[in-house]
A and B are shown apart, each in its own frame.
Chain A
């Protein structure tokens, strides 16, 4: 009976739950799904991390390559994030070039990397104007059950912390780079951005970490990215219902506590891997 009602009147079905301050999957409005993290499982990548947020799964693999810096910015390397939402992860995606959503999330990742300063591009420079690292950070969604942005950010941060780069020296005779694959150095991670996504329903209900169903029903989505010094480094609200200032403040407070939890999780996981 409940299933029929859900199919026929999904919005009303949802409203009934929200009136009781609970969601159909049993979570409270501010509750976030269980987060699991696995670091370093892909050994062909310089750094990798698999994150599960409820059912949503994203794997991030980082490949580092050597290249020439641009003439405009001779002291800077590159970080190239790309989010892939393949047809494997959900029936709503079709094979072919990246969907609009994938492009939006990729660009958001690029903005987060730039605004938060998680990696200083100067750290990636080896010889000024001659040689630098490029980090290809590819985030591949394996299971799409909503809130892919938060999951991508966690996987990106964890994978970056897992990166080990081989030592590079430039030979004096030929001027060619020589890498020492035996000696590997970690990357200097300067900031820890963590994203928290909220869905807005019926103009006044706010719920954190929306699932795929909830994302479809929501009238607006808001993502807040914070760093460890409690600064907001990115806010993303693509249209939708307008929010009052006090609601926004609630969201920011929730995002700050969530970010603290995620940083603790990443820290603990990395320590357990190294042991």
Chain B
């Protein structure tokens, strides 16, 4: 990394050990099912948790299989740089992959993929946040992918939305992200990293990846990213699969928010508990 004097520099040139690996990993095709034994339209196990960063206004952690994402939300706070006056608030997103998150080591400085991802997450969240509720101020969302095992962008969208909800930022709806990988005839929901980087089969007509950000209770799509080349019919089908995937994650997210609110406001539970016992007393 030339010109980075603020970090401790390693040797000029180094290569990951799997470059020199003897046998390349063979993709084993077991008829119908995927490598981890899921069906084509099955999600991996999802784990969500809020309030993981004590210093942040709101934060969330998400696991989808081995993909691990953490998001922290700060604000609404004053816009640091002097800019034009707006009655609308500003949302800022920064997506970063940890250096150790992928098989190939990533650099500290934000690369193009991360910048691209930041923008997609921002555009997915913007329609959901009531920006006119906090004029002249900004909300910062920082997302770090700790381990990328596929569908990292989709996980980042979900995690960021959950962080915003945890921070108490007013929103019309949460946003849930989900990805689909189309490879020839096969359509895989929530692909793992091996499925994402599958080499193109020469004869295959369709080859691509679709990521959707969905506002589940409004049933509106806030983000749609399509890489590769798909026939119109397949593309529509892939988006539909994504949406059904999002609807599958939504109940988990809802449960997580309800339980975190219970945790944060214990008085609420006590009060409701008291009133119920009072009611019972009244009845007896």
Contact = CB atoms under 8 A, between A and B. Distances in A.
Q: Do A and B bind each other?
A: yes
Nearest to B141: A88
Contacts of A98: 6-7, 108
Interface of B: 6-22, 52-56, 66, 68, 70-72, 74, 77, 80, 94, 96, 98-103, 105, 108, 140, 142-144, 146-149
B54 A181 contact: no
B142 A176 contact: no
A273 B243 CA distance: 38
A64 interface: yes
A140 B98 contact: yes
A97 B6 contact: yes
29 contacts: A45-B100, A57-B52, A59-B98, A64-B17, A67-B10, A78-B10, A80-B8, A82-B7, A82-B8, A86-B96, A87-B74, A88-B70, A89-B55, A91-B74, A91-B77, A94-B80, A95-B142, A103-B7, A106-B8, A107-B8, A136-B99, A136-B105, A138-B98, A138-B108, A178-B20, A179-B17, A180-B22, A181-B18, A212-B55
Interface in A93-135: 94-95, 97-98, 102-103, 106-107, 110, 134
B17 A43 contact: no
A67 B11 contact: yes
Given A88-B142, A138-B98, A142-B70, A65 B17 contact: yes
Contacts of A70: 11
Given A87-B94, A107-B8, A143 B55 contact: yes
A138 B108 CA distance: 9
A84 B99 CA distance: 10
Contacts of A30: none
Nearest to A69: B11
Interface in A32-55: 41-45, 48, 55
B14 A65 contact: yes
A57 to B, nearest CB: 8
Nearest to B54: A55
Contacts of A187: none
A90 B11 contact: no
Nearest to A143: B53
Contacts of A178: 20, 22
A168 interface: yes
A143 B54 contact: yes
B99 A176 contact: no
Contacts of A138: 98-100, 108
Contacts of B52: 57, 142-143
> What 10 A-B pairs come out closest when comparing CB atoms?
A61-B100, A67-B14, A88-B142, A65-B14, A55-B54, A45-B100, A80-B10, A63-B105, A67-B11, A138-B99
